[in-house]
Structure 1
């Protein structure tokens, strides 16, 4: 896994976390136990910290970059495939849908689902336990039962999948 120190700050990865061999972590990145960073993801913490709390996951080809505020993903939070997060915070067990963008100083509440392709604009506050849709996302509504299921089960699904990848992948040499 590519880990790079930047100006004396190095990534810190808990031994129980899983980082895909093609993910890249640069600078002041902290990855707690049972968290995972998937293939092609880039976490670049050259201005401030990036923190993935226990059980959080950043899926394939997503990018997290920060300004001075930094970025924190709460316990069990999920960042779906091909997302961009910049200098923002994501609450406990929140799910950021595939291709969504969360911009500077935005705050996504706990147990919230940001829909695929949504754009959370700078300084926006998405309330706890809501569904955020649109580009830019303006209307926040209560979670549907289907959305609630994703929020409640995603951490366990990705923790188990990370364990399978930790023991089940190997380079192809042919």
Structure 2
């Protein structure tokens, strides 16, 4: 299913394959040879999403840009089932395993592997060829990769990265933080009210855009 969002339609290379139950919304460009499987959601929320040639988005994965953070996924990258990318830059030949979470402002270098249920936190830089083990947490720049039972060390690094400030422009100490967050974010998401479903026809992106 393809939708316009903020007046922009997805642009999908005719050599890509989109499952009938996948959702592609807004300013999304999908390159040649890409495969987007059942239940996957690729959505632009004000910034573009680019999926370069021969990449795969598997079942029920989520790839989401935000108004402040675009998404770029390099060629020959695999995004596993139920994985989630929010406003991050993913390199070429990257493997994101089942259930991985990549947060806003993160950069995952070429040929890296983020294994099952691992997390790459906001504003974290993974150099090329990095491996994040199963269920571990990558955090910060310079990078730390820590097991989930070392919560205090993860939190010490994570606190400095300031998730609510960086993603939502809100002070963590605000007494009514969640009230402000949900109201502000809700107003942004309400822009989907004007989305319009478009025919499930592919458009050759090479006709009106530079190469991916």
TM-score (ref. length: structure 2): 0.62
Structure whose residues are more often helix by fraction: 2
Residue 25 of structure 1 pairs with residue 50 of structure 2: no
Greater relative contact order (CA < 8 Å, ≥ 6 in sequence):
2
Q: What CA distance in whole angstroms lies between the structure 2 residues aligned with 1:136 and 1:106?
A: 16
- 2:74 aligned to which of 29, 40, 65: 65
**Distance change >3 Å, CA 121–CA 12, structure 1 → 2:** same
Q: For structure 1, which runs of at least 5 residues remain unmatched after alignment?
A: 148-163
For each residue in 1:112-169, what CA deviation from the matched residue of structure 2 results, as whole angstroms up to 9, or x when unmatched? 111101111111110011111012423322165xx9xxxxxxxxxxxxxxxx99x954
1:43 equivalent to 2:51? Answer yes
State how many pairs are aligned.
141
Q: Is the 8 A contact 2:121 2:139 kept in 1?
A: yes
How big is each residue's C-alpha offset from its partner over 1:87-125, in whole Å with a ceiling of 9 and x where there is no partner?
211010110011101111100011011110111111111
Residues 36-69 of structure 1 deviation map (CA, whole Å, 9 limit, x = unaligned)? 1111211111xxx201110011111201112xxx
2:110 maps to 1:101: no
With over 3 angstroms needed to count, the CA separation of the structure-2 counterparts of 1:4 and 1:136, relative to structure 1, is: farther
Q: Counterparts of 2:50 and 2:96 in 1: how far apart (Å)?
A: 17
Pairing of 1:103-142 with structure 2 (within 5 A): 103-142=109-148
* 8 Å contact from structure 1 (residues 119, 137) kept in 2: yes
**CA distance in structure 2 between the partners assigned to 1:101 and 1:119 by the alignment:** 5
Q: CA RMSD in A?
A: 2.1
Report the structure, 1 or 2, having the larger strand content. 1
The aligned residue for residue 195 of structure 2 is 170
Q: Greater Rg, structure 1 or structure 2?
A: 2
Q: What's the TM-score, normalizing by structure 1? A: 0.74
